[in-house]
Structure 1
Amino acid sequence: MNRRSAVRTLLYIAGGTLVLPACFHESRKATIALANLSVTEADEALLEELVETLVPATDTAGGKELLLHLFVLKMIDDCHSPEDQQAFTKGLATFSSWSQKELGRSFAEAGIDERTALLGKAPDSGDSNLVQFYGLVKRRTIQGYMNSQYVMTNLVKYELVPGRYNGYFPV
């Protein structure tokens, strides 16, 4: 055996044992810095699944791939009033318990058809926190999708301001 390859292998093993615990550690915080909202990893995962249900991945990119849940969190944190932020936090907790009660399991474990049917019932649920939360998330998700780099470069064909010259345009 070559001594250099043995030392290299030993260093790989030592580095792996140092990095491995960090892979399984839950920090209990959101993955982005938020000034006004307090969101846990579980809340962020629920919001990620909700956004993926609103904008599913087909032949185009979906909500998870475009990280729209982070856009929603950042916009609510930066651009909404403290009352809206409190309603968002209450609505997130209400949505989690409501979906658990309606589906019989967590929102993430449900199938896409069940999620879509559940979201169809959300505006008519009668709970003001849930209705306001769903409205905020839906509006910001659509805004984030339509303004994403993927949509603006691949789906929307933008022409500069004067556009093309058309000599046969009727005047």
Structure 2
Amino acid sequence: MKPENLDMNMNRRQVLQRVAYLMGGVVSAPAVLGILNGCAPKQQEASWTPVFLTKEQGALVGEIAEIIIPRTDTPGAKDVGVPAFIDTMLKDVYTQEDRDRFVTGLQAFDDAARKAHGKAFVELSKGQQTELVQKANDEAVATELAYDPRPKDLKRPFILMTKELTLLGFFCSEPGATQVLQYVAIPGKFEACVPLAQAGNGKAWAQEAMGRF
């Protein structure tokens, strides 16, 4: 997959470093391989159909990605094509073992939503969806921190695979790189001490954590 939206002035390794920071210090080996080989999201059409995932699975992944990076005054995960990016990464980069773990986890996540609220995840309110994603994320993060794996040994559960791919896809898009967090393609003069409001209009810098997710 050729990069469509990634500003070529932005080093992919910087994207990986940024996402590693947001993921607690580690990016999985398949994700690293995909980004270094040029994988990046394309603008997603409304009629987009998944290639690896089923249509229903793609819709579920899209809703979770949008919870992780929602549309505000800047584009969200869906706007920049993250669901299609995740689908392509799973198809072209991940092993069969990883794919099976993702799909099994995806089904278990939706089953948990049905058990908790009597509806599929995509039918729940935004508040209910956010609560379920946060709960799954917190439990998975606690488990991963206890394990402390190396990238090549990392077997992330579905929710953290989705989070990792959402962040990577988003920050490889032009809006993610240039609109949401501070990113200077051609740095200007260095000023050691300036007011926060003056240094980037109050936006967080790319190296800072982005919310709880």
| TM-score, normalization by structure 1 | 0.65
Measured on the aligned residues, the alpha-carbon RMSD in Å equals 2.7
- Mean CA deviation greater in 150-159 or 91-100: 150-159
Rounded to whole Å, the distance in 1 between the matches of 2:50 and 2:112 is: 26
Structure 1 gap ranges (5+): 1-29, 126-130
Aligned position for 2:188: 164
Calculate percent identity across the aligned residue pairs: 27
1:84-163 equivalences in 2 (<5 Å): 84-123=98-137, 124=139, 132-155=157-180, 156-160=182-186, 163=187
Q: Does 1:49 align with 2:63?
A: yes
2:49 aligned to 1, 25, 31, which one? 31
Which amino acid counterpart does residue 185 of structure 2 have in structure 1? E
Aligned position for 2:93: 79
Pick closer, same or farther for the CA change 1:59–1:98 going to 2, 3 Å: same
| TM-score, normalization by structure 2 | 0.54
Cα displacement (A) at 1:32: 4.3
Rounded to whole Å, the distance in 1 between the matches of 2:119 and 2:189 is: 58
Cα displacement (A) at 1:133: 0.4
Aligned position for 2:207: none
Which amino acid counterpart does residue 173 of structure 2 have in structure 1? S
Aligned residues: 130
- Structure with the bigger RCO (C-alpha within 8 Å, sep 6+) is 2
Cα displacement (A) at 1:98: 1.5
Cα displacement (A) at 1:152: 2.4
Higher helix share: 1
Cα displacement (A) at 1:45: 1.0
Rounded to whole Å, the distance in 2 between the matches of 1:64 and 1:139 is: 15
Cα displacement (A) at 1:56: 1.1
Cα displacement (A) at 1:58: 0.9
Rounded to whole Å, the distance in 1 between the matches of 2:166 and 2:103 is: 16
Structure 2 gap ranges (5+): 1-47, 141-155, 193-213
Rounded to whole Å, the distance in 1 between the matches of 2:88 and 2:128 is: 28
1:67 aligned to 81, 85, 104, which one? 81
Tell me which structure has the larger Cα radius of gyration.
Answer: 1
Pick closer, same or farther for the CA change 1:55–1:165 going to 2, 3 Å: closer
- Dislocated runs of 4+, deviation >4 Å: none
